[in-house]
Structure 1
Amino acid sequence: MKAGLFLLYERKEETVISRIQHRKECEGYARLDRRPYHERKSRYQVACDRLLRGGLCERDIVVDIGAGYTELDFCLRTEHGWRGRYVPIDGWVDGTDIEKWAPEFDFHWFAALELLEHLHDPKRLVEELKARAEFGFVITTPNPDVVDVLAMDPTHITPLSRDLLESWGIYTTLHNFYGTHEDGIAGMWTRRDVR
């Protein structure tokens, strides 16, 4: 019994150490130079538009996966007057490894902005969100038909085409997110048709 408890404690300690290391790596990524908010806000505005068009209301909870500096929350509140609950999930905030993360509970809405291209298996997360979203989710990602997604950032590992996202049941639209015509994709999945 003592050997089993020691092994359990050792595994838990390894998990804590790996979470701390992961958080440090994510914090280093978060400190990289970023364009100012006003140059990047188009993706947040599009996501807000999709959420509101989908029926987002003041009673709803939005879980922002890969929340970064929580700019989706800022956009929802300052530009749209939204007063609902916002829950940020991000490795540099809490050590969450989004490659393995899955929501423990159902939530009204999820957002994964500029995130899926960072994952080895983005479809796994999409399926988790479909299972746990009471109303739906929004995503944004670079458009690989226009920009070299892998060259944009060393942590970009999975380019996602519009056709691929649509094959997963996500309704997509093209947008100007990075300075080139139609260089970004916004996607939305809902339990009901709100396009």
Structure 2
Amino acid sequence: MSESHQDKQHKARQQKVKQQVDARIANATEEKGLLLVITGNGKGKSTSGFGTVTRAVGHGQQCGVAQFIKGTWENGERNVLEKLGVEFHVMATGFTWETQDKQADTEAAQALWQECKRMLSDASLDLVLFDELTYMVTFGYIELAEVIDALNHRPAHQSVIITGRGAHRQLVELADTVSEVRNVKHAFDAGIKARKGIDW
């Protein structure tokens, strides 16, 4: 059966797309650890970060996680990933609107940041996730210049994911990949309680 005119047009378009994609793949020759920033007001930033950590673990890579902001709630991702050898450090002071104690929050953030700096100098770690780090910079608990310096001096192969709303412009500029999660609709706004396995 001969190809229709429509089939031929489709095939030609797809061949052109393939050539363009193949050319971009061929031109992507640099190998280095990446800095990914996942920001925006929508739900799913931490979930995306943890999904990437899970992917890396699936490829046999060594990973570490530092969680700012999050409190003492059970963490489904930690329940799985720690058993697979992922290093976890959690600020565990609760959400900042719960503590209302800037001094204590600053000290807790600084203590966790010391673990972050150690991970950023650990060549055995292929990927580190700094969940909700953007808030620490915004609140002034951790100095932006110190974060950028540590990121710039990490092992060349090490990738880093930073999540949280309102990522500072300098972090966005430094990053290799930036994703912004937009809030269209959220169950919590309709008075629906956070759900285990979905929200944490």
Which of the five TM-score ranges fits, normalised by the shorter chain? Answer: 0.3 to 0.5
Compare CA radii of gyration and give the structure with the larger one: 2
* TM-score, L = length of structure 2: 0.44
**More strand per residue:** 1
* TM-score, L = length of structure 1: 0.44
